[in-house]
Structure 1
Amino acid sequence: MNTRKRAGQGFVAGSLIGTLGGLIGLGGAEFRLPVLVGLFRLSTLEAVILNKAMSLVVVASALLFRLRAIPFEQLIQHGDVALNLLAGSLIGAWWAAGHALTMPRTRLNQVIMVLLVGLAVVMLSESWLGLHDSGAPLFEGGPTRIVVGLLAGFGIGTVAALLGVAGGELLIPTIVLIYGIDIKLAGSLSLVVSLPTMIVGFARYSGSDAFAVLKAERPLFRWMVVGSILGAGMGGLLLGLVPPEILISGLGVILLISAVKTFKHAH
């Protein structure tokens, strides 16, 4: 596949994934990973690293876009929530990225397939059980909530590092359920947690030979990021046209099928 055609396909794929992500308030990295492996034939570790680099740009852009609706001062007021989750997620991201570098490729494929299937199940559960609805927090405060936040952050950081994703699909319901925070504010707080978490994982991957994929696939990276950002903006404009429950259910099924199909046969 020539470079121009590859870049064009990256733009189209990024636009479609970004639009779907924008419709449900996510970056879409969960869907980019199977595309990078299945369509563009990258190795699993190369796909994770490229996906993480894209996620960094998309999440930083999304955070800037959302500052109009959720001002920085409001985020500062809930800084304790972000710090609680960050304390766990940074450790989880560093630990998981280190293990991914030394893990046999077949085992890494299996782990990533299981995690993507798990994310698909989470998406379906959120749709069917209404886990995005805010209400009373599970814990009012104190040491118990801090410990639960640390554990949740560690798990989310681990998943984010292994998949190269921002982790919003896990962070948003976690913030809503544990801390009882409104869904829109939870979306912005999830980006605040995701950005440094991804930077830590990205730094950990920098020692891998697979890190060279960023230079080798520069045109694909550039056009897929542009498509993802434009698509996310388009998805935001189309917000409300499709009932979120139907959309999330459909995307959960698509992710489930693509994860199993792609990583079961990945080499």
Structure 2
Amino acid sequence: MWWGAAIGVLGGMIGLGGAEFRLPLLISVFGFVALQAVILNKAMSLIVVITALPARLIVVPYAEAAPQWPIVVNLLCGSLAGAWIGATWATRMRSATLYRVLAVLLVLIAAALAWSHIGGMSAVSLSPVIRVVAGVGAGVALGIVAALMGVAGGELLIPTIVLLYGVDIKLAGTLSLAVSLPTMIVAFTRYSRDQSFQVLRANTSFVVVMAAGSVIGTVLGGLLLGVVPAVVLIPVLIALLLLSAVKVWRHD
């Protein structure tokens, strides 16, 4: 539980669930092979998102989020397919290849973290048709990444929503959860058809305890939001992701 809580605090301090930090931990510390770690991470991420969504609606009321349903639908049109594709690829990859892919994706998350929290974001000007097409394309890509890593994908979803649709970042966080939940369920369903899914049944207690720690840690991290200046916290988290990427890349 303590590992889960620590990860939750890290993620909660920047408004995320921490699955990006949990994945390398499952591989490097707990010794799960790549696909097993992804499936376990997906299960824990699903639990965290389910518990986070009601709490998020306290921050951003349903009445404020509901009118933005076209954004959620637009992204889901791509992300549901992307989740199935990504999970299928993961189950068919050699472990060595999947380790390399996960390492590259950790670097991508680090870059997105730096850009969204340090570089700043502003909406791009697109015609309605182009925006819809871009939303579907972005949804596919995000669904693939989330499925391959077993994460909710908020670090990529939130800046995408801000850039494409010009909504406030706080509202974008709520909308990202609404996109993530069905997307994760699709990926989870695809993984359940693979033999490697047995790792979840064999480690149910581990998943529940660590997920509970992540939920508690996320709440604590949210309460600590702003206590540690972003100018200090973000570079540390980026360094952790990059270090994790190196370790995962070198994993046999």
What is the TM-score normalised by the length of structure 1?
Answer: 0.91
Cα deviations by residue, 1:113-137 (Å, 9 ceiling, x for unpaired) = 1111111122122233123xxx5x3
Query: SS of the residue aligned with 2:151?
Result: coil
Aligned to 1:164: 150
- Provide the residue aligned with 1:3 in structure 2: none
Q: Where does the alignment leave 5 or more consecutive residues of structure 2 unmatched?
A: none
Aligned counterpart in structure 1 of residue 230 of structure 2, from 244, 250, 266? 244
Deviations 1:85-119 (A, max 9, x none): 11111111111111111111111111111111111
2:77 is the alignment partner of 1:87:
yes
What are the residue-to-residue correspondences of 1:166-185 with 2, within 5 Å?
166-185=152-171
* 8 Å Cα contact 1:26/1:169 also seen in 2: yes
Runs of 4+ aligned structure 1 residues displaced above 4 Å come to none
Equivalence map 1:136-215=2 (5 Å) = 137-139=123-125, 141-215=127-201
Does structure 2 conserve the Cα–Cα contact (< 8 Å) formed by 1:117 and 1:260? no
Report the Cα offset of residue 138 of structure 1. 1.2
Distance 1:157 1:249 in 2: 26
Aligned pairs for 1:48-63 (under 5 A) are 48-63=38-53
Aligned with 1:68: secondary structure? helix
Is the 2:106–2:244 contact (alpha carbons within 8 Å) kept by the matching residues of 1?
no
Whole-angstrom distance in 1 between the partners of 2:59 and 2:208: 28
* Equivalent residue, structure 2, for 1:100: 90
Matched position secondary structure for 2:143: helix
8 Å Cα contact 1:13/1:227 also seen in 2: yes
CA distances 1:224-244 after superposition (whole Å, capped 9, x unpaired): 011101101101111111122
**Aligned partners of 1:34 and 1:223: how far apart in 2?**
18
Q: Counterparts of 2:214 and 2:37 in 1: how far apart (Å)?
A: 16
Query: For 1:138, what is the secondary structure of its paired residue?
Result: coil
Count of residues in Structure 1 that have an aligned counterpart in Structure 2:
252
Q: For residue 32 of structure 2, what is the aligned residue in structure 1? A: 42
Alignment match, 2:245: 259
In 2, the alpha carbon distance for the partners of 1:224 and 1:217 equals 11
Counterpart check, 1:113 vs 2:103: yes
